[in-house]
Homo-oligomer: A and B are copies of this chain.
Amino acid sequence: MEQLENILSMMKKASTILANTSTDLRNSALLRIANNLQRKSTDIFEANNLDLMIAEKENLASPLLKRLKLDTDKLNTVIDGINSLIKLPDPINTVLAKTLLDDNLILTKITVPIGVIGVIFESRPDALIQIATLCLKSGNCAILKGGREALNTNKILTQIIVDSILEVSSDFNNTIYLIETREDVAKILQYSKYINLIIPRGSNEFVQYIQKNSAIPVLGHADGICHLFVDSNTDVDLAVKLTVDSKTQYVAVCNALETLLVHKDIAKIFLPVLKKEMDKKNTKLKGDKQTKEILPDIEDATEEDWKTEYLDYILSIKVVNDVYEAIDHINKYGSGHTDSIVTKNKENAAKFQALVDSASVLVNCSTRFSDGYRYGFGAEVGISTGKIHSRGPVGLDGLIIYKYLVEGDGQIVDDYSKGIKKFKHHRLV
C-alpha cells in the first residue's frame, strides 16, 4: 500500500471513532483551535508573508494576492466563525424518525457524519480553517488541498489545528490531513473506497474536471450565471436599484447578476435609466438587438454572452416578450444557481418561482441574498447547483447523512412472509 492510500485507509478507520465523539469533545477541540490560532498568530503571519513574498516574485495577479493575504482582520473573522460554530446545535446523532415495526422491533433513523470528505480549495488560506472546523463540528474527517501559492500558510494552519485537537483527545487522531501536490489530488479522486464526498472550491473547469474524473460524489457549483427579470408591471426605480445591487454590490461572487432580462413593454423607459446608473458604477452593458434599439451605443451581446459568468463589471441584457420567454431563457442558459424577478404581478411572480428550475428563485429582491449567512444557516459549506443531496447554500446539513438502527428481540422475516406475524408500522417520532 502506498503512503497516500495508507493515510486514507487510516482516515476511514478514524472516521468511525470521530463519528462517535461527544458534542462536548468536538466543541472543546474547536475552542482549542480558536485559542491556538489566536496565540500563534505571529507564526501564522510569518508563514503567510513568506507565501506572499514568493507570490510577488512570481508576479501573481493582485486579486489573487489579496485572497492569499491572511491579516489580523481575516484571522479574527475566521476565529469568530469558530466561536459561532461551537454554539450551533450538533448536527449528528439526532433522531429523525422512530417507527414501531412490530412489538419489540423498533426502527430509528439518526443523523451521522458522511465520513471522509476531500476538500480542494483555492488560494484563500482562511478557507482551510473554515472547512476543517466545519468538518470537525459535523464529525467528518477532512483531507485538504489548498492552493500551491498558500502552501506555507496552509502547512502551519494545519499543524496548529492538528496539534490543538490532539491536545484535547487522541480520538481525533488521523482526522485531518493536508495534501500538497496536484498529483496527490489526481490520486485521491480514484479512492472512492476511502473518500465519501469531494467539495471542490475553484474554477468552473476545475469542478467539471473532478466530476468527470472521479466516481466520488461531488458537492459544489461550477457556474453562477444568475438572472434578474424585470417584468412589465414594475416600479422602474426599484428595478434599477435591484439590478445595481445584484450586479455591482460584489462582482466577483457566484450570486452576482450576469444577465438581465427585460420585458419589452418596460424596456424603453427602464433601460435608459438603468444605463445612467450603470455608467456611475463603471459597468459595461452588452445588449441583444432589441436592447440596442434603445441603447445603440452599447456592445452586442452574442449567444456566448448568455453562457458567460463575467464575475466582472459587465452585464448582458436581453429584451423578452413575456415571463415565459424569460423562464425559458433562464432554464436554457442559467446554471440553476439564483434567479430573481421584479414585478408587481403576483401571478407572474408565482409562475416564475414555480417554473424556474434553480436552487434559489427570488421575487423582488437582489440575487446577492442567496447565501448561507443571509439565509440564516450560521455556517456555509458552499453553494450547490447539483440536485442531489444538497442544493443552494449548504449549511452543516450538507455534511451529514443518516443511518438506520433496528432493535429487535429475535424476529425473523419468515414469520412475516408466512403471515404468522404482521407489521404494525406505527410512527413513534
- Tell me if B405 and A353 are in contact (CB < 8 A): yes
User: Which residues from chain B contact A235 at a C-beta distance below 8 Å?
Assistant: 410
Provide 21 A-B residue pairs closer than 8 Å at the C-beta atoms, listed in order of the A residue. Answer: A16-B331, A16-B357, A19-B357, A101-B375, A192-B211, A197-B388, A211-B215, A238-B410, A242-B410, A244-B412, A249-B412, A249-B414, A349-B407, A358-B403, A360-B406, A364-B411, A365-B409, A369-B413, A374-B413, A374-B423, A392-B404
Q: Does A401 contact B (CB under 8 A)?
A: yes
- Could you tell me if B406 and A402 are in contact, using CB atoms closer than 8 angstroms? no
Out of B217, B355, B375, B386, which one reaches A16, CB within 8 Å? B355
- The answer to whether B115 and A413 touch across the interface, beta carbons within 8 angstroms, is no
Q: Is the CB of A357 within 8 A of B413?
A: no
Q: Which residue of B lies closest to A196 (CB)?
A: B387
| Interface of chain A residues 74 through 98 with chain B (CB within 8 A) | none
Q: Answer yes or no: A20 CB below 8 A from chain B CBs.
A: yes
With beta carbons under 8 angstroms apart, the residue of B20, B211, B212, B241 that contacts A410 is B241
Q: Mark A383-401, 1 if CB is under 8 A from B, else 0.
A: 0001111011100000001
Q: How far is the CA of A423 from the CA of B359 in the complex (A)?
A: 21
Task: List residues of chain B with CB within 8 A of the CB of A219.
Answer: 388
Contacts of A374 in B (CB 8 A): 101, 413, 416, 423
A388/B387 in contact, CB under 8 A: no
- Specify which of A12, A360, A411, A413 lies most central, judged by the most chain B CB atoms within 10 Å of its CB: A413
Q: Quick check: is A123 within 8 A (CB to CB) of the other chain?
A: no
Q: Is A63 an interface residue (CB 8 A)?
A: no
Interface residues of A in 220-278 (CB under 8 A from B): 235, 238, 241-242, 244-245, 249-250
Check B412 against A366 for contact (C-beta < 8 Å): yes
A379 at the B interface (CB under 8 A): no
CB–CB B365/A105 < 8 A: yes
Interface size counted on chain A using CB atoms at 8 A:
77
Point out which of A13, A374, A392 has the most chain B C-beta atoms below 10 A from its C-beta: A374
Report if A408-B362 is in contact (Cβ < 8 Å); known contacts: A245-B414, A249-B417, A357-B16: yes
Let me know if A27 is at the binding interface, CB within 8 A. Answer: no
B386 touching A391 by the CB < 8 A rule? no
Q: Is A53 interfacial (CB 8 A cutoff)?
A: no
Asked if A368 lies at the interface with its beta carbon under 8 angstroms from chain B, I say: yes
Docked CA distance A402–B387 (Å): 8
Residues of B within 8 A of A15 (CB): 357
Q: Answer whether residue A114 sits at the interface, using C-beta atoms and an 8 A cutoff.
A: yes
- Among B107, B391, B427, the residue within 8 A (CB) of A401 is B391
Report the minimum CB–CB distance from A53 to chain B (whole Å). Answer: 32
List the B side residues contacting A364 at CB < 8 Å: 407-411
> Contact check: which of B20, B197, B423 meets A376 at CB < 8 Å?
B423
For chain A residues 340-376, which have a beta carbon within 8 Å of chain B?
Answer: 349, 353-355, 357-366, 368-370, 374-376
